[in-house]
């Protein structure tokens, strides 16, 4: 059994072979290129690949797949050693869908060939992933999806439309669920695939949001061919596979590790301290309440991550994601009230195509508008309330009249 001491030794061996002081910076996307790195410089990507191969990417994964089969809790030992040495990370916010959703699903249901093909370039950031789940007619009721996949020999031909797809405009791969049998109830007859976003039948169109940017996309799939070797899980068992993705997604959204006063509560607390002329008694009481609730949510997230050491995420992650959405919206609303007219402004109202969203690095007006999407993305708050009620609190399930009706016979 790998212990903390062994992990520290392995991490030091990695740092000795790839000293962070000699690492080249990531390539710039703006301005002229700088001087070429010297022959003694170690490439950042090479360092990340070496870390993966040493089993220090996610230590609880199996050997050969970026891990050592160690307890998940020991990842903190590796991360602390690397952070102290100034080593680069894999830019987890940029590849969050791959790390938080695709990777655990591939690990749980993929073949050995799939795991070895996809996990390493996913973790080091060579390949960005997106999620093709929601549809215009099947958002909150995801199981009602209508995108069809028809078997033709060793391939599947996929036709349909997906929506609200973050990072589709930069993604190399997508996790996709499609209907493969319309003669069974909606939760059956769904199959889970890995889709090549460079296929000529994949069309990505931007969706302009209330913030002015186009972080989300709609994706049209026209005769997209997916080899059966890119299927995850059994045919017709896609809903069960998708539950692994969804549970991990909600933990990754609502249970991110942040410091005290991290996230949305940080900027408004800073403004309160630095701008005493804006304070009122009413706002003070509301800020105190939200500060406490944000800290409770942060500590609850720490507890949930400790529980993950013992197994896969459960429905409790839905509760955290609920709290995340509500707190972000209430905190950003308070900040706009605190700043008055100043809080309504922000400096970049253009159709940007960002790879990722920065909630805290922008103005209050942006945070206020962008947080409105938090109660939709990753599962709507209404759906998550049902999950918490039924699977956490044990309350009776809502009546479902379509449970045993074939998908083709459902009213749409």
Are residues 107 and 65 in contact, defined by beta-carbon separation less than 8 angstroms? yes
CA–CA dist 147, 186 (Å, integer): 12
Tell me how far apart the alpha carbons of residues 55 and 53 are, in angstroms, rounded to a whole number. 5
Angle at 164 between CA 163 and CA 167, to 5 degrees: 110
Bridge-based pairing state of the strands 231-232 and 190-196: antiparallel
Q: Which residues are bridge partners to 150 per DSSP?
A: 157
> Which residues does the annotation mark as catalytic?
249
Find the distance separating the first CA and the last CA of the chain, reported in whole Å.
Answer: 54
């Amino acid at each position: 059994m790998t212990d903390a001491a062994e992990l520290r030794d392995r991490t030091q061996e990695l740092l000795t072979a790839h000293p962070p002081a000699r690492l080249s910076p990531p390539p710039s996307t703006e301005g002229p290129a700088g001087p070429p790195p010297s022959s003694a410089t170690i490439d950042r990507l090479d360092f990340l690949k070496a870390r993966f191969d040493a089993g220090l990417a996610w230590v609880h994964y199996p050997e050969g797949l970026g891990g050592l089969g160690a307890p998940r809790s020991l990842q903190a030992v590796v991360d602390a050693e690397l952070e102290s040495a100034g080593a680069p990370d894999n830019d987890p916010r940029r590849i969050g869908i791959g790390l938080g959703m695709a990777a655990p699903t591939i690990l749980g249901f993929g073949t050995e060939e799939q795991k070895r093909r996809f996990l390493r370039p996913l973790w080091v950031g060579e390949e960005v992933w997106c999620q093709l789940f929601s549809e215009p007619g099947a958002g909150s009721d995801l199981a009602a999806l209508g995108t069809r996949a028809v078997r033709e020999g060793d391939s599947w031909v996929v036709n349909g439309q997906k929506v609200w797809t973050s990072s589709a405009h930069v993604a190399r791969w997508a996790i996709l669920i499609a209907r493969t049998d319309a003669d069974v109830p909606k939760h059956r007859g769904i199959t889970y695939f890995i889709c090549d976003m460079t296929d000529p039948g994949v069309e990505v169109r931007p969706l302009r949001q209330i913030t002015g940017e186009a972080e989300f996309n709609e994706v049209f799939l026209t005769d997209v061919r997916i080899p059966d070797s890119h299927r995850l899980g059994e045919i017709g068992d896609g809903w069960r596979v998708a539950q692994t993705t969804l549970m991990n997604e909600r933990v990754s959204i609502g249970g991110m590790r942040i410091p005290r006063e991290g996230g949305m509560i940080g900027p408004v607390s800073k403004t309160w301290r630095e701008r005493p002329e804006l304070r009122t008694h009413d706002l003070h009481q509301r800020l105190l309440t939200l500060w406490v609730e944000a800290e409770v949510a942060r500590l609850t997230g720490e507890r949930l991550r400790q529980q993950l050491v013992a197994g896969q995420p459960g429905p409790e992650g839905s509760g955290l994601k609920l709290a995340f959405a509500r707190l972000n919206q209430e905190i950003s609303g308070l900040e706009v009230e605190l700043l008055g007219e100043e809080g309504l402004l922000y400096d970049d109202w253009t159709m940007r195509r960002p790879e990722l969203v920065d909630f805290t690095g922008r103005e209050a007006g942006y945070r206020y508008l962008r947080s409105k999407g938090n109660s939709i993305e990753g599962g709507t708050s209404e759906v998550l309330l049902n999950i918490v009620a039924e699977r956490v609190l044990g309350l009776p399930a809502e009546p479902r009249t379509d449970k045993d009706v074939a998908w083709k016979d459902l009213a749409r």
